[in-house]
């Protein structure tokens, strides 16, 4: 089995991806204040130089609050000289299509997917921004990664200002530490050791919840992005975290996980867990809320989970007199002892300027000012010793004052992975249990993290033609193979079908693009 350091970290891929995600514990102090001295005075967009308020009509995703009464709304107006005229509904595709087709006068719109972005570029519905970014976007060019700009570029023109995501590790495998201790076992480090632990959970009922009630391992199924992708486990089989959709680099070429050597072994492993009652029998229908509910009930030994399971953590502690808790595992090792786990970096949304707007320059200036060293930290976290504090290089909230920034991200016109990742620690520590889980997964997983390769792949015509269909096929077949040995026996037929229905064309197109990168 090829290990993930080869798959995700070749020199060529590093040059393309520039994996900039760093452990929050080691880079937090660098964040938004790393280069205040270097900002050219003639291009600074600080509020002190703004002579008048600029109004920008803004369309973004639906949420349950009043933007006009929000603290960040006022902060942006005060510091950046921009008055947002907000509207919700950019995540409703029909509404977004109608707005752009009819020429309604919005100045900036948050487009939620690259597929829609590509559509609007083709339909000539949005403005190219390259010249304006070159003229007014020194901070944008400085803090947003080159490969992210490639994702919003078509025929040499930039058509959107990207909002990069925080690049910490969000998903991993958590286990009941008290159950592990009761069994006298160690935290597992390989898929085989994980299997033995789950088996012991089922057979020995270390939590005394009744053997018939024990759920050794649960995970979300129906709403999982990439279907049956368990971050920190899939990589031990040489796969990406989203194996139904993702490509990996293998021996200098891009290979779909569908065709990767470890795919059948990974499905066979999950099939074995399910057949032996070690994987939750409700797995196919589980949603995030079901996983939380089962963890909170106290009869689940392990779960594919995030640090945001604070309510479940509190419930477990209450039921065990403070003795029980979930802890994260390091990424499980592959056959060669290598470990890797995917971070959640990438792009959350794409800020575009419709053809109808007369304020494209003002939008670019606004996005650039948002990332300015004089503005960024105070807009994202507020004021030091009032809404946040810094301890040992990490950011922590001061409650309840920090709560006024709860909806701040709704307003961000752009964001930088480099700047935002260390600051996110403040949000993660708003609850004690959540902060403890976040620190745990960060300590155990960030040194093994990588950026998702699919996040930097271009939207090629073949991708537009085949990706959705191939993803749906893979998700359906892979789930069936986990549940049914007879379906697993048809694995080779599935791969042949995937290749014939566009997989080969898509793979060839990606590799042609990859070869051009030098």
Domain of 150, CATH number, reads 3.40.190.10
Residues 159 and 186 in one domain: no
Does 107 score more than 80 pLDDT?
A: yes
Residues 223 and 106 in one domain: no
Of the three residues 428, 444, 465, the one that is the final residue of a domain is 428
pLDDT score recorded for residue 222: 63
Residue at 392 is within a domain: yes
Mean pLDDT of 466-483: 92
Which range has the worst mean pLDDT, 9-13, 132-136, 209-213, 283-287? 9-13
Residues 53 and 70 in one domain: yes
pLDDT score recorded for residue 332: 98
Mean pLDDT of 463-469: 87
pLDDT score recorded for residue 29: 37
Residues 267 and 185 in one domain: yes
Does 38 score more than 50 pLDDT?
A: no
Q: What is the spatial distance between Cα 22 and Cα 407, in angstroms, rounded to a whole number?
A: 25
Q: Please write the tens of the pLDDT for every residue from 19-31.
A: 333 333 333 333 3
Does 382 score more than 70 pLDDT?
A: yes
Residues 128 and 220 in one domain: no
CA angle 264, 269, 274 (to 5 degrees): 125
282-317 burial, b for 16+ CB within 10 Å, e for fewer? ebeebeeebbbbbbbebbbbbbbbbbbbbebbbbbb
Q: What is the spatial distance between Cα 395 and Cα 116, in angstroms, rounded to a whole number?
A: 35
Residue at 106 is within a domain: yes
Mean pLDDT of 173-187: 98
Residues 224 and 306 in one domain: yes
Residue at 211 is within a domain: yes
Q: Please write the tens of the pLDDT for every residue from 261-294.
A: 999 999 999 999 999 999 999 999 999 999 999 9
Residues 323 and 375 in one domain: no
Query: In what order do the strands lie in the sheet containing 108-111?
Result: 82-88, 54-60, 108-111, 347-352, 161-164
pLDDT score recorded for residue 516: 86
Residue at 23 is within a domain: no
Q: Look at strands 449-450 and 341-342 and give their pairing.
A: parallel
Mean pLDDT of 251-264: 97
pLDDT score recorded for residue 51: 54
* Mean pLDDT taken over the chain: 89
Helix (H) or strand (E) holding 315: helix 310-319
Of the three residues 372, 394, 428, the one that is the final residue of a domain is 428
* Cβ 241 vs Cβ 235: under 8 Å: yes
Does 451 score more than 60 pLDDT?
A: yes
Q: Could you tell me the pTM of the whole model?
A: 0.84
Joined together, the tokens standing for residue 465 give 């033609």
Mean pLDDT of 305-313: 96
Which range has the worst mean pLDDT, 346-355, 368-377, 420-429, 448-457? 448-457
Residue at 97 is within a domain: yes
Residues 94 and 209 in one domain: no
Mean pLDDT of 303-322: 96
Q: Which structural domain range is residue 488 located in?
A: 172-342+453-516
Residue at 491 is within a domain: yes
Does 106 score more than 90 pLDDT?
A: yes
Residues 117 and 216 in one domain: no
Indicate the number of domains in the chain.
2
pLDDT score recorded for residue 227: 56
Does 495 score more than 80 pLDDT?
A: yes
pLDDT band at 46 (very low <50, low <70, confident <90, very high): very low
Residues 396 and 367 in one domain: yes
Q: What is the spatial distance between Cα 135 and Cα 224, in angstroms, rounded to a whole number?
A: 42
Mean pLDDT of 429-455: 95
Residues 316 and 182 in one domain: yes
Residues 287 and 196 in one domain: yes
Joined together, the tokens standing for residue 266 give 């990974």
Q: What is the spatial distance between Cα 464 and Cα 119, in angstroms, rounded to a whole number?
A: 10
Does 37 score more than 50 pLDDT?
A: no
Residue at 435 is within a domain: no
Residue at 13 is within a domain: no
Q: What is the spatial distance between Cα 75 and Cα 370, in angstroms, rounded to a whole number?
A: 11
- Residue tagged 């707005």 (tokens): 99
Mean pLDDT of 338-346: 95
- Kindly give the residue spans of alpha helices, DSSP state H, lying in 167-243: 177-183, 191-204
């Amino acid at each position: 089995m090829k290990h993930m350091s080869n798959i995700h970290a070749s020199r060529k891929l590093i040059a393309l991806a520039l994996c900039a995600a760093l452990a929050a514990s080691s880079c937090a102090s660098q964040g938004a204040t790393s280069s205040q001295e270097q900002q050219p005075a003639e291009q600074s967009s600080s509020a002190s130089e703004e002579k008048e308020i600029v109004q920008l009509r803004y369309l973004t995703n639906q949420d349950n609050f009043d933007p006009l009464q929000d603290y960040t709304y006022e902060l942006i107006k005060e510091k950046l000289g921009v008055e947002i005229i907000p509207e919700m509904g950019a995540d409703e595709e029909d509404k977004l299509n109608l707005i752009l087709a009819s020429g309604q006068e919005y100045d900036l719109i948050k487009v939620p997917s690259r597929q829609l972005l590509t559509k609007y570029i083709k339909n000539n519905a949005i403005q190219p921004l390259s010249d304006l970014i070159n003229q007014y976007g020194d901070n944008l060019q400085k803090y947003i990664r080159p490969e992210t700009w490639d994702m919003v570029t078509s025929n040499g023109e930039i058509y959107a200002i990207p909002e990069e995501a925080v690049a910490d590790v969000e998903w991993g495998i958590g286990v009941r530490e008290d159950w592990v201790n009761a069994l006298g076992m160690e935290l597992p480090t390989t898929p085989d050791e994980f299997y033995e632990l789950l088996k012991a959970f089922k057979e020995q009922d270390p939590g005394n919840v009744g053997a018939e009630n024990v759920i050794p391992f649960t995970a979300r199924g129906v709403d999982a992005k990439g279907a049956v992708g368990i971050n920190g486990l899939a990589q031990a089989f040489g796969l990406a975290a989203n194996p139904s959709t993702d490509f990996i680099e293998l021996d200098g070429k891009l290979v779909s996980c569908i065709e990767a050597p470890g795919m059948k072994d990974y499905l066979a492993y999950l099939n074995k867990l399910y057949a032996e009652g070690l994987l939750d029998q409700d797995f196919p229908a589980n949603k995030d809320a079901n996983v939380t509910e089962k963890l909170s009930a106290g009869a689940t030994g392990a779960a594919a989970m995030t640090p945001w399971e604070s309510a479940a953590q509190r419930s477990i502690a209450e039921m065990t007199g403070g003795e029980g808790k979930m802890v994260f595992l390091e990424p499980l090792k592959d056959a060669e002892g290598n470990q890797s786990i995917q971070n959640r970096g990438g792009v959350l949304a794409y800020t575009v300027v419709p053809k109808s707007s007369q304020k494209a320059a003002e939008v670019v200036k606004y996005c650039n000012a948002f990332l300015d060293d004089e503005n960024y930290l105070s807009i994202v976290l507020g004021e030091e010793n009032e809404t946040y504090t810094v301890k040992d290089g990490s950011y922590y909230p001061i409650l309840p004052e920090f709560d006024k920034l709860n909806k701040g991200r709704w307003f961000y016109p752009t964001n930088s992975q480099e700047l935002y990742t260390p600051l996110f620690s403040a949000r993660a520590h708003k609850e004690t249990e959540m902060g403890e889980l976040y620190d745990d997964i960060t300590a155990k997983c960030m040194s093994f993290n990588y950026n998702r390769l699919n996040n930097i792949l271009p939207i090629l015509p073949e991708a537009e033609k085949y990706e959705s269909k191939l993803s749906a096929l893979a998700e359906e077949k892979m789930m069936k193979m986990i549940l049914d040995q007879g379906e697993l026996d048809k694995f080779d037929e599935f791969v042949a079908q995937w290749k014939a229905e566009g997989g080969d064309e898509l793979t060839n197109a990606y590799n042609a693009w990859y070869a051009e990168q030098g």
